[in-house]
Structure 1
Amino acid sequence: MNIKTRYAALIVILAVLIGAAGSYIGMQYFGAENETPAERLANASEKAENFGSLSEEEQKEFIEKMAGNKNLKKVDQAFSIIKSNALKDVDQQQLVEGAIQGMLDTLEDPYSVYMDKKTMEQFNQTIESSFQGIGAEVSMVNDKVTIVAPIKGSPAEEAGLKPNDQILKVDGESLEGLDLYEAVLKIRGEKGSEVTLKVDRPGVSEPLKVDIVRDKIPLETIYTDTKTIEGKKAGIIEITSFSEETAKDFKKALTKLENDGIEGLVIDVRGNPGGLFTDVQEILKQFIPKDHPIVQVKNSKGEVSKYFSDIESKKDYPITVVMDEGSASASEILAGAMHEAGGYELVGTKTFGKGTVQQTIPMGDGSTIKLTLFKWLTPEGNWIHEKGIEPTVKVKQPDYFYTSPVEIEEPLTYNNNGDKIKSIQEMLKGLGYSPGRTDGYFSEETKEAVETFQSEHQLNVTGEVDAKTAGKLEELIVKKVRDEENDRQMKKALEVLFQ
């Protein structure tokens, strides 16, 4: 086999080996002693991209200096044996990409993933002004595609998808065995097209069927509002994710609110799945004085870097942060810093718990590896991965906020029981009716509550929950959830602000 053919394949594999074992093999060769591992990694990646223009001898020297002969010879030998001797006709590119995927799989890290050229082109949409799909941030948890949070105002939010929902099937096709990005490409689609998801929800015994019409998902990430509480003006900034324009838009929004005379600020990161590490830093630099780190980053060698602002003091007005189980990653960096370094209150429920940082590494042919390189730590050095951040003021939303959509195949009737009935009971209760029990048993009181509801909404009065009755219940519950008067968490955050 021609050496350029063999080593062109191996260099792609080597780009994964850098840092994948946590040892940054050969990094000294690509950078000065005072450079950080991340800077050396960028150097190595740049060399890899230009690999094809090197001579045969330069290629050999490059590879040997990166990882030494022993391991490379083994990989090269396996590649040659399979390519030359396998009974089945083998595509060289598939071998290379299979090797990359296999190495990443050994990390058992859902956040370290490989994206081929085609996948990368499609996922570049997510950093543009908009994309088309259902509008939800997902992760791989226990080999299941799991909702981190639906995007504000998206079809996913409209359909009732919630954090920790696990997507089992897309249009009847199982997602088992697919990596995260393969699965997401099945979920995405053109505006106006419909997709049916089979969803496993924690605490619900039977999978849910969720029909969603895809739409254009704008990536506007900053929303503002003001409230007057006991004669004092409070500003509210909601951050729905951290993208390329978020820090800039946040600064504009904050400046406008301050010019309008706010006397306190609520930062809302509920349902915010995270995003760019750089943008959350820029936002925090406006609030955390320079004598405290904003965040700490720890690499595979245990080396810790601390990030600081350059401001002298805190804002002259009170601030609270409101968060929930859909607040992840960069949202947790913000919450952790605001509390530990700023002394501000956190209102809501415990966050998602993602304490790692990924870096995208181009492979030179349009494909990319997103690799976990660092842990991030709070200003006090706490690692919140798979633990989350606890609020200082715990507030849950009303129970009806957490009800599940109910798919009705056969009417729900007296003396039956199940999770669907439990959801119906919680909806009835949330709308002011008295179903009696709320444990999923269809009691006589539940039947009477259903009859009253049907009578008041011009439905056939049967005491049974058919598709029309369930649909009307869900419609009214969604409307109630969206009414800010029912938002206990925001109300408490505003109350805490001026205590």
Structure 2
Amino acid sequence: MNTKHMSKREESMSKHLQVPVWVMAIGMSVTLIGGGVVGYMTHDAATARQTTTGVPSELKQVVSTYDTIRSNYYQKTSDKKLAAGAINGMLESLGDPYSVYLANTDKSSLDSTISASFGGIGATIEQTGKTLHIQSILPDTPAKHAGLRVGDQLIAVNGKDVASMTVDKAVAKIRGKIGTQVKVTVKRQGTRHTYTMKRAKITTDTVTGALSKQNRHVGIITMATFSEPTATQFEKTVKQLRKKGATSFVLDLRGNPGGMLDSALAIASMCLKDGQTIVKVQNRAGSTQVYKAGKTYDKGFKVKEPLSILIDGNSASASEILSAALNENRAVPLVGEQSFGKGTVQNVASLNSQAEIKLTVAKWLTPKNHWINHKGLTPTVKVAYPAYAKISGIGASNLKPEQTGTDVKAMQQMLAALGFNPGTVNGYYSADTVSAVKAFQEKHGLNATGTADDTTLTTLMQALSAKFTADDPQLKAAVKAAK
């Protein structure tokens, strides 16, 4: 994923070079395609009557085991954990990685992904060395109204120390149910300040746009996921880029794991003629539902300009639905690498306020009846990522001379890609590697110790990300193809 920019809405500031990572979902009423949902009920009325009046014979052993454990296990058991274990066991028996039981934080995470929003304060937290700071504050948010400032050091949340926590853990404590209160304590110029705020709905940008530096008449539209606001954000972005002079567009779906089916249908419909087939969804009985472009999805807004689409190995499900629909109907060129190959549809059914089941209920076919599961889409124009874009991330926060391991090797590879000679790239922090680290530190205004501390590693990641953004051979090819 062209070292995609990270969301900065109370998200962790990763030190890893962002290469494609898959995680996906399309659309209980929301259908996810590829980690996603297509609306369905957990069971029909007949099944509901059966399960309330008696236990199916196949499940009597499950109930018997449950009762035996509750009555005889040598330690006190949790009924909720036993029930969750039974549910997990049934889903795991399917051998389908996309059919899963989601409870508590896992459920909240999927819900937030679908809505592209969460309960928060509207501040970005970043880690500098061993301390957490406010990196940015969104306008018209609780953080802004309360008086938090960029640069404030995060000390505590609800009175509990978070200074030594990771960004992810600290952010998890700040987030919560919309409308609830949270107390955030920061240090500013040596003085502590505590702000009490009411969490608000923070919506993330799933779509971003900019004119190509290569050709100012080409608009680059990057979609991170297909969530509830994505179609609206896509339309808004197209209009903005048109005003700036865009006469064609590149849709960058690299690293996009998918999302809500409705969003994918809306965007596809905007780019197709009314009546053209977007996707076909087929259940196990062979019944097929055909989704076609029209005002139902696009409300009359159309994108008739020339297009090209960027895909890679982590463009999955909804991304593949959109790509296939535009390629097969409009001959829109696909540029990049083979896509993921996620051809099944999941539904999310709520069990209660804390748990839900995501279950594979159908498969989807392209307009020309191709099932791309485990195969993916083949690019019209094949362009590989540069080797350095696939260097493994560095998990350590500090690397020292004489140290060995995969993190050291990754650091050496990054240094070499940036033009600093670390010596033999073998995972050993040698004298040559020390010299390369010192040279890198000097160039970037850091303390030239030769030891790769957290700041050095973060700067190294950022430098490599910037290099890819500047090089990006796939994007350059897509800009040429968008005509």
- Which of the five TM-score ranges fits, normalised by the shorter chain? 0.5 to 0.7
> Is 2:376 the partner of 1:388?
yes
1:97-108 map, 5 Å: 97-108=84-95
- Cα distance per residue 1:316-335 (max 9 Å; x no partner): 43211112333222122222
Pick the aligned partner of 1:422 from 409, 417, 424.
Answer: 409
Mapped to 1, the partners of 2:481 and 2:346 lie a distance apart of 35
Residue equivalent to 2:477: 492
Q: Is the 8 A contact 2:257 2:316 kept in 1?
A: yes
- Which of 309, 315, 332 is equivalent to 2:293? 309
* Structure-2 change in CA distance of 1:259 and 1:456 (3 Å): closer
Q: Quick one: structure 1 residues 70 and 122, their matched pair in 2 at CA, closer, same or farther if it must change by over 3 Å?
A: same
1:42 and 2:48 aligned: no
State the aligned residue count.
Answer: 378
CA contact (8 A) 1:408 1:466 kept: no
Once the two structures are superposed, residues 219-267 of structure 1 have per-residue CA deviations (whole angstroms, 9 ceiling, x without a partner) of 221111123655x611121111111111122122223333554211011
2:224 corresponds to which residue? Answer: 240
Distance 1:319 1:121, change over 3 A: closer
In structure 2, the partner of 1:293 is 277
Structure 1 position 372, deviation (Å): 0.9
**How far, CA to CA, are the matches of 1:76 and 1:477 in structure 2?**
53
* Residues 357-372 of structure 1: pairs in structure 2 closer than 5 A: 357-363=345-351, 367-372=355-360
Other-structure match for 1:225: 210
Q: Secondary structure at the match of 1:341?
A: helix
**Distance (Å, rounded) in 1 between the aligned partners of 2:434 and 2:85:** 57
**For the residues of structure 2 that align with 1:357 and 1:479, how far apart are their CA atoms?**
39
Gaps of at least 5 residues in structure 1 are: 1-37, 52-58, 134-152, 157-189, 197-209
Moved more, 315-324 or 439-448: 439-448
Alignment of 1:109 onto 2:96:
yes
Contact 1:346/1:393, CA 8 A, preserved across alignment: yes
Which structure has greater helix proportion?
1
Single out whichever of 379-388 and 70-79 deviates more from structure 2. Answer: 70-79
2:396 to 366, 390, 407: 407
Query: Matches of residues 440-455 of structure 1 in structure 2 within 5 Å?
Result: 449=436, 452-453=439-440
Whole-Å separation in 2 of the counterparts to 1:343 and 1:402: 30
Among 408, 431, 446, the residue aligned to 2:418 = 431
SS where residue 375 of structure 2 aligns? Answer: coil
Distance in structure 1 (CA, Å) of the matches to 2:73 and 2:405: 53
Distance 2:369 2:408 in 1: 46
Flag the 1:402–1:380 CA change in 2: closer, same or farther, 3 A: same
Partner of 2:359: helix, strand, or coil?
strand
- In structure 2, the CA distance between the partners of 1:253 and 1:409, relative to structure 1 (3 Å rule), is closer
Q: Secondary structure at the match of 2:463?
A: helix
Measured after TM superposition, the shift of residue 286 of structure 1 is 1.2
> 1: CA distance between counterparts of 2:245 and 2:440?
46
* Cα RMSD after superposing both structures: 4.4
CA offsets 1:98-148 (integer angstroms, 9 cap, x no match): 332221121122221223478646754444553489xxxxxxxxxxxxxxx
Rounded to whole Å, the distance in 2 between the matches of 1:47 and 1:358 is 23
Instruction: Look up the SS of the partner of 2:270 in the other structure.
Output: coil
Contact 1:322–1:348, Cα closer than 8 Å, also in 2: yes
Aligned mates of 1:447, 1:72 — CA distance in 2: 63
Per-residue deviation, 1:93: 4.9
Residue 278 of structure 1 aligns to a residue whose secondary structure is: helix
**Alignment partner, residue 259 of structure 2:** 275
Q: CA deviation at 1:449?
A: 4.5
Residue type at the aligned position of 1:497: A
Say whether the 8 Å CA contact 1:294–1:378 is kept in structure 2. yes
Change (3 A) 1:125 1:320: closer
Residues 99 and 411 of structure 1, relative CA distance in 2, 3 Å threshold = closer
Distance across 2 between alignment mates of 1:456 and 1:490: 28
Structure 2 counterpart of 1:367, one-letter code = A
Q: Confirm or deny that 1:481 pairs with 2:465.
A: yes
Q: Which residue pairs with 2:323 in the alignment? A: 335
Report the residue type matching 2:41 in the other structure: A
Preserved contact between residue 339 and residue 376 of structure 2 (Cα < 8 Å): yes
* Amino acid corresponding to residue 302 of structure 1 in structure 2: G
Paired amino acid for 2:291: Y
Aligned counterparts, 1:259-274, within 5 A = 259-274=243-258
Partner of residue 54, structure 1: none
* Displacement after TM superposition at 1:289 (Å): 3.2
Residues 450 and 315 of structure 1: CA distance in aligned 2, closer, same or farther (over 3 Å) = closer
> What is aligned with 2:339?
351
**Matches of 1:275 and 1:227, distance apart in 2:** 26
| Counterpart position of 1:178 | none
C-alpha contact 1:290 1:309 (8 A) present in aligned 2: yes
Contact 2:42 2:349 in 1 (8 A): no
Contact 2:270 2:301 in 1 (8 A): no
Alignment deviations for residues 168-192 of structure 1 (CA, whole Å, 9 cap, x no partner): xxxxxxxxxxxxxxxxxxxxxx996
Distance of 1:72 and 1:332 partners within structure 2: 39
Q: Distance in 2 between matches of 1:308 and 1:288?
A: 9
Distance in 2 of aligned mates of 1:477 and 1:378: 38
Task: Look up the match of 1:377.
Answer: 365
Percent identical residues: 34
Deviation for aligned residue 1:92: 5.2
| Counterparts of 1:274 and 1:154, CA distance in 2 | 26
Q: Residue 20 of structure 2 aligns with which residue?
A: none
User: What 5-or-longer segments of structure 2 have no aligned partner?
Assistant: 1-37, 128-159, 176-201
Q: Which residue of 1 aligns with 2:307?
A: 319
Is the 1:234–1:266 Cα contact (8 Å) retained in structure 2? yes
Amino acid across the alignment from 2:389: F
In the TM superposition, residue 439 of structure 1 has moved relative to its aligned partner by 5.6
Matches within 5 A, 1:74-223: 93-116=80-103, 120=107, 124-128=111-115, 130-131=117-118, 214=171, 218-223=203-208
1:350-395: CA deviation from partner (whole Å, max 9, x where unpaired): 3333222111123367632211101122223333333333322233
Secondary structure of 1:307's aligned partner: strand
Give the aligned partner of residue 22 of structure 2. Answer: none
Shift of 1:293: 2.2
